[in-house]
Chain A
Amino acid sequence: MYTISNRLKTFSIILIVLGILGVAYGFMTSHKSLEEVKTMLAEDHSVHGADFVPLTQEHVVRGVENDDDNFHRSGAYDATADVDDMDLETEGMIMDSTAMESSEVHSDNESSGTDVQEHSQTEDAHGMVGEHGEGNQDTHAVHVQEQLAKRPWSALYVAAFFFMMIALGALAFYAINIAAQAGWSPLLMRVMEGITAYLLPGAIIVVVIALGSHYIGHHNEIFIWMNPEVVADDELIQNKSSYLNIPWFVIRAAIFIGGWCTYRYFARKFSIAQDNAEAGDIRNFKKSFRIAAGFLVFFIYTESIMSWDWIMSVDPHWFSTLFGWYVLASMLVSGITVIAMVTIYLKSKGLLPMVNDSHIHDLAKFMFGFSIFWAYLWFSQFMLIWYANIPEEVVYFITRIEDYNLLFFGMLVLNFVFPFLILMNSEYKRIPWFVVMSGVLILVGHYIDVFVMIMPATVGDQWFIGIPEIGSVLLFGGLFMLVVFTSLTKAPLTPKGNPFIKESEHFHY
């Protein structure tokens, strides 16, 4: 039997406490008054102002050239020298004034720019479609104010979803291994069962955060379709409101979580019952095989719908048909990565003596394969939309490329290029620290993946990976570790009664 070490326990509790502090800080600093937001925007633009001087200069020069023509037309005298003087003078003068003006010009440009990009979110939210000038400025500030208020909620949601997704991916992988009667993996079954223990609290937390962002605070919904004021002005969301409404959202979430956790409960029960069964009695194994097959059918439907509900509906104006599989790939690869990392950790403590480097090799192969599968789906989604360039679909990627450029393409390097190159070599897949290193890259990459799926719809260009985001990751990371390792202490780490256990013990590749 494994007992959770005190150091690990303390460590995860420290993470949770630090996380709570970070999240609390995020909430305390996120609610700004309209005036504060306006000052912030003005300061922001005066910093950016320097960038805009060359642009305005161009305008000035063009203006001076016109003047130049006028002078020639007037034909009073040879004005070359004077024009040169003029040039300098006007340029200096206008530069002075534009240094101040540019902030305004810029903010106007930007607000209209974001309005277009954000697919009229601002306008819908405030019913100021036709208004310009001062009204537009205010709308922009209100919009930014809402984005800032949404930031700690979104940070919490991204981290909560990320860890929930690891547990769910591990559960799906576990069910696949049972249904496929895999001969190599039974030694790792307890590790997988331990990781899936986080699914129930994790999934409930995700739904609670989604609803909490609506019921707590004002105008900080992660899902704008939950905001009745937005829906009132938005015919597109109105047409989807028979699907996107809070009661039905909660019922669906209850069905998903209920189904997954029921499977998890019985799979775990049969697995432990099989341990205690008499030799040759494999009734429990057969039962777990049957429910695994049933669960996989249920899972592929609910996972797909879950991805629409919990992720895609942050952008209720946008849809993509392969989104569910894309989320599935992300889920599976991070689940398998965590299985590999926990296995390596427990093995390094001498708790999994029968696990050899061929098991690690197999897990690393799955990490490699699913990383490529993820990249394939990422690219299929991106390329089809980029190629057809239909405005209603392509806004999704325009906001991401413009506001999240580094993250959007950086995660492709982390999730595809690095695993592809690092885990290609057969020898490297057997070296634990190599697998852990690429696992860390993959996990960071998939956190960013979830981040880039959620954040552009909630905080837009006001994103930053700061205290609220890191605090949320620490909070749920600590909780995840605590739940997973506590669950690992509840049963022997090596299952006894599994008919494939001998094969798994002698597995070598």
Chain B
Amino acid sequence: MEDSSKVIHAIYTDDDLLMAAVKKVRAERYHIEEIYTPFPVHGLDKAMGLAPTRLAITSFIYGTIGLIVSVVMMNYIMIEDWPQDIGGKPSFSYIENMPAFVPIMFELTVFFAAHLMVITFYLRSKIWPFKKAENPDTRTTDDHFLMEISAGQNVDAQFDMLRNTGAVEVTLIDKAH
């Protein structure tokens, strides 16, 4: 695995070209390490063959947790711990006074679902405030698209193939530090 630290960067100026290139590269069975784009390119994940996100499923679970938290909290506070008569509201059992708790149940469900999902997204994407930016080429934040593929045995053939897909720049990068 002497070549594993070498990658090829191909830069494109158009997202349609990029999509076509991704399909070509995958058809030629090269492994795409990463793609850097300045904006979301619709359908890129499908073209790359990325697995669908499970973020929505985590969000559902977090929402359920939020609902349970609110029910347990209000049941303990309002029904079990100190069941006072507040304005004639029935505090004998949870279900009797439930309509009054629904706004809290709803908000906590949304709160947990939203915030925990965002935090999960940060963790899974490894984003935090003092994170060092991983950007191989600053132009990719503006108007260029960069595809990174691992260099194989025959780098020249890979170069040719990438140039044929319309790449404006193809460079060999040694990632070893």
A333-341, A380-388, A453-461 - the one binding chain B: A380-388
User: Do A387 and B100 touch (CB < 8 A)?
Assistant: yes
Q: Which of A383, A389, A424, A426 contacts B102 (CB 8 A)?
A: A383
Judge whether A318 is part of the interface by a CB distance below 8 angstroms. Answer: no
User: Do A386 and B60 touch (CB < 8 A)?
Assistant: no
Judge whether B99 is part of the interface by a CB distance below 8 angstroms. Answer: yes
User: Do A424 and B60 touch (CB < 8 A)?
Assistant: yes
Q: In the docked arrangement, what's the CA distance between A389 and B97, Å?
A: 13
Q: Which of B56, B60, B88, B99 contacts A383 (CB 8 A)?
A: B99
Please encode chain A, from 379 to 399, with 1 for each CB lying within 8 Å of some chain B CB and 0 for all others: 100110011010000000000
Q: In the docked arrangement, what's the CA distance between A387 and B60, Å?
A: 30
Q: Which of B60, B88, B99 contacts A382 (CB 8 A)?
A: B99
User: Do A387 and B88 touch (CB < 8 A)?
Assistant: no
Q: In the docked arrangement, what's the CA distance between A386 and B56, Å?
A: 35
> Shortest Cβ distance from A17 into chain B, in angstroms?
45
Count of residues in A whose CB is under 8 Å from the partner chain: 8
On chain B, the residues within 8 Å of A383 by CB distance are 99-100, 102
Please encode chain B, from 40 to 64, with 1 for each CB lying within 8 Å of some chain A CB and 0 for all others: 0000000000000000100010000
User: Do B100 and A379 touch (CB < 8 A)?
Assistant: no
Q: In the docked arrangement, what's the CA distance between A383 and B102, Å?
A: 9
> Shortest Cβ distance from A358 into chain B, in angstroms?
14
Q: In the docked arrangement, what's the CA distance between A379 and B102, Å?
A: 9
On chain A, the residues within 8 Å of B102 by CB distance are 379, 383
Q: In the docked arrangement, what's the CA distance between A424 and B56, Å?
A: 10
On chain A, the residues within 8 Å of B60 by CB distance are 424
Q: In the docked arrangement, what's the CA distance between A372 and B102, Å?
A: 14
How many residues of B sit at the interface, in one of the four size bands?
under 10
> Shortest Cβ distance from B60 into chain A, in angstroms?
7
SS class, residues of chain A in contact with chain B: helix
User: Do A386 and B88 touch (CB < 8 A)?
Assistant: no
Closest B residue to A426 by beta carbon equals B56
SS class, residues of chain B in contact with chain A: helix
Closest B residue to A427 by beta carbon equals B52
On chain B, the residues within 8 Å of A386 by CB distance are 99
Q: In the docked arrangement, what's the CA distance between A387 and B96, Å?
A: 12
User: Do B99 and A389 touch (CB < 8 A)?
Assistant: no
Q: In the docked arrangement, what's the CA distance between A383 and B88, Å?
A: 15
Closest B residue to A376 by beta carbon equals B106
On chain B, the residues within 8 Å of A424 by CB distance are 60
User: Do B100 and A389 touch (CB < 8 A)?
Assistant: no
> Shortest Cβ distance from B170 into chain A, in angstroms?
33
Closest B residue to A389 by beta carbon equals B88
CB within 8 Å of A: which of B75-93? 88
CB within 8 Å of B: which of A63-110? none
> Shortest Cβ distance from A183 into chain B, in angstroms?
15
CB within 8 Å of B: which of A420-472? 424, 426
On chain A, the residues within 8 Å of B88 by CB distance are 389
Q: In the docked arrangement, what's the CA distance between A386 and B102, Å?
A: 13
Q: In the docked arrangement, what's the CA distance between A387 and B88, Å?
A: 10
> Shortest Cβ distance from B117 into chain A, in angstroms?
14
CB within 8 Å of B: which of A243-302? none
On chain B, the residues within 8 Å of A387 by CB distance are 99-100
> Shortest Cβ distance from B54 into chain A, in angstroms?
12
On chain B, the residues within 8 Å of A382 by CB distance are 99
> Shortest Cβ distance from B79 into chain A, in angstroms?
17
Q: In the docked arrangement, what's the CA distance between A410 and B48, Å?
A: 47
Q: In the docked arrangement, what's the CA distance between A387 and B100, Å?
A: 7
On chain A, the residues within 8 Å of B99 by CB distance are 379, 382-383, 386-387
On chain A, the residues within 8 Å of B56 by CB distance are 426
> Shortest Cβ distance from A164 into chain B, in angstroms?
31
Please encode chain B, from 96 to 108, with 1 for each CB lying within 8 Å of some chain A CB and 0 for all others: 0001101000000
> Shortest Cβ distance from B17 into chain A, in angstroms?
21
Q: In the docked arrangement, what's the CA distance between A486 and B163, Å?
A: 60
Q: In the docked arrangement, what's the CA distance between A379 and B56, Å?
A: 26
Q: In the docked arrangement, what's the CA distance between A434 and B60, Å?
A: 20
> Shortest Cβ distance from A37 into chain B, in angstroms?
36
> Shortest Cβ distance from B124 into chain A, in angstroms?
19
Q: In the docked arrangement, what's the CA distance between A389 and B96, Å?
A: 14
- Residue from B56, B60, B99, B102 with most neighbouring chain A CB atoms (10 Å): B99
> Shortest Cβ distance from A503 into chain B, in angstroms?
15
On chain A, the residues within 8 Å of B100 by CB distance are 383, 387
> Shortest Cβ distance from B19 into chain A, in angstroms?
15
Q: In the docked arrangement, what's the CA distance between A387 and B97, Å?
A: 9
> Shortest Cβ distance from B99 into chain A, in angstroms?
5
Q: In the docked arrangement, what's the CA distance between A383 and B100, Å?
A: 7
Q: In the docked arrangement, what's the CA distance between A499 and B135, Å?
A: 44
> Shortest Cβ distance from A393 into chain B, in angstroms?
14
Closest A residue to B56 by beta carbon equals A426
Q: In the docked arrangement, what's the CA distance between A379 and B99, Å?
A: 8
Q: In the docked arrangement, what's the CA distance between A426 and B99, Å?
A: 30
On chain B, the residues within 8 Å of A389 by CB distance are 88
Q: In the docked arrangement, what's the CA distance between A424 and B102, Å?
A: 20
Please encode chain A, from 353 to 388, with 1 for each CB lying within 8 Å of some chain B CB and 0 for all others: 000000000000000000000000001001100110
Closest A residue to B60 by beta carbon equals A424
> Shortest Cβ distance from A33 into chain B, in angstroms?
43
Q: In the docked arrangement, what's the CA distance between A54 and B60, Å?
A: 48
Q: In the docked arrangement, what's the CA distance between A383 and B106, Å?
A: 14
> Shortest Cβ distance from B73 into chain A, in angstroms?
19
Q: In the docked arrangement, what's the CA distance between A424 and B99, Å?
A: 24
Known pairs A383-B99, A386-B99, A424-B60 / 5 extra A-B pairs, C-beta < 8 Å: A379-B99, A382-B99, A383-B102, A389-B88, A426-B56
Give 12 A-B contacts (CB < 8 Å), ordered by A residue.
Answer: A379-B99, A379-B102, A382-B99, A383-B99, A383-B100, A383-B102, A386-B99, A387-B99, A387-B100, A389-B88, A424-B60, A426-B56
CB-CB nearest 3 A-B residue pairs: A383-B99, A386-B99, A387-B100
A-side residues, CB < 8 A to B, are 379, 382-383, 386-387, 389, 424, 426
